[in-house]
Amino acid sequence: METLNIALLGFGNVGKAFVRLLVEKRQDLLDRYDLEARVTGIMTNRHGACLDPNGLDVKHLIELMDGGQDYSLAALDRLDFRGDCSDFIRHCNADVLIETTPVNPKTGQPALGCLKEAALNGMHIITANKGPVVFGFRELTDLTRQHERCFRFESAVMDGAPIFSLFRNSLAGAKLLGFSGILNSCTNLLLDRMRAGETLDEAIAYGTSIGIAETDPSNDVDGWDAAIKVAALSNVLMGQNLTPVDVNPTGIRGITPEMIKTAEAQGKRWKLVCQAGWKENEFFARVAPEMVGPDSPLYTVSGTSSYVSFELDVLPGLGILETNPTPATTAFGLLADLIDIHSRRQK
């Protein structure tokens, strides 16, 4: 049996779902992979930090989580930790750092710097954060390889749906020519609500009430979340070096109720469409609203679902639909990355 010590940087809904998943899957991980996953540290902005080199009391941790939002991780700390991110990385006694902090679509910081430091300290690194993937994919990949470690990020685009691992494994040898789809589930829900008669502001209020939209929804509404996902796929799968600014997105703020009605009258629907690929030997990347008809696979993608279609040299069309994801879906992507790292260590 191998024991992998894990440190968590960030502990919001995804981090909490990941801890619950580790508990739920503990016996399965032992039986199928001969793997024991042990959390030795957690650091957050809101709830403080805790370190225990021998493994945190996960049962006590879940009790704290279930006790309400206003808890402190200090109750689990065994080292009287008071440091910053660098100190946390040096003292967490972890083989793997899993990072789930909020995305910075402009620079990828501070998450990128923390992941870099973890790589320099000889740790495997896993992130659900799109920022470090866009702004640091090559650097983090090179750093981890130099230390015979791995950089994984399955949950960065479409939650836990297997995209990056699909190209790393099953589609090895295929060349990606382009992709298109709906990559921002929030705007997809907002457009559905508007089609049902709500204004954009009313739709945003609903999205905020169920936790799908942030208090400041501009990253979603103005297309920046979609743009950073387009950049991530383009950089990792197609060898580009894009930032969200290069994608220059157009969001859904300009979609009016009148435009929704016009589309309905034509038997079409508005969707925030993400695209990238080569056209006439030039690479393009685009995020913009489009009207799509029943002949498009995007037409029936509803609510908080996402969809992406890949055009490959050996497969003309391969689509992945993810239906109504939750934090547990994203947590599964983190777990899949952890299992992949473990499996590669065993070879």
Task: Name residues whose C-beta falls within 8 Å of residue 239's C-beta, 6 or more positions apart in sequence.
Answer: none
Residues in the chain, how many? Answer: 347
Considering only CA atoms, which of 249, 248, 246, 230 is closest in space to residue 238?
A: 230
Query: What percent of the chain lies above the pLDDT cut of 70?
Result: 99
What distance in Å separates the CA atoms of residue 151 and residue 314, rounded to the nearest whole number?
Answer: 27
Tell me if residue 306 falls in helix, strand or coil: strand
pLDDT of residue 347: 63
Question: In the chain, what percentage of residues exceed pLDDT 90?
Answer: 86
Confidence bin at 1 (pLDDT 50/70/90): confident
Confidence check: pLDDT of 214 > 90:
no
pLDDT at residue number 210:
85
pLDDT per residue over 73-127, tens digit each?
999 999 999 999 999 999 999 999 999 999 998 899 999 999 999 999 999 999 9
Kindly indicate the confidence band of residue 212, based on its pLDDT and cuts at 50, 70 and 90.
confident
* Crossing angle of helices 327-346 and 13-33, rounded to 10°: 40
> Which helix (H) or strand (E) segment is 326 a member of?
none
Residue 249 in this model has a pLDDT that exceeds 90: yes
Query: If 0-12 CB within 10 Å is exposed, 13-18 middle and 19+ buried, where does residue 320 land?
Result: middle
Residue 151: predicted pLDDT: 98
Domains in the chain, start-ordered, CATH in brackets? 2-160+327-346 (3.40.50.720), 176-322 (3.30.360.10)
What angle separates helix 200-209 from helix 185-195, to the nearest 10 degrees? Answer: 130
Residue 67 pLDDT: 83
Q: How far apart are CA 295 and CA 297, in angstroms?
A: 7
d(CA 54, CA 41): 10
Which one is catalytic: 106, 130, 175, 229?
A: 229
Question: Catalytic annotation on 347?
Answer: no
Please give the full DSSP string across 102-161, using - where no structure is assigned.
PP-TTT-TTHHHHHHHHHHTT-EEEE--HHHHHHHHHHHHHHHHHTT--EE-GGGSSTTS
Cα–Cα distances in Å, from 241 out to 133, 235, 283, 284, 289?
Answer: 11, 5, 11, 12, 24
Tokens of 347: 């070879």
Q: Please, which residues have CB within 8 angstroms of residue 14's CB and are 6 or more apart in sequence? A: 100, 128, 155, 327, 330, 331, 334
pTM greater than 0.85 (yes/no): yes
Half-sphere exposure of 107 (CA within 13 A, CB side): 4
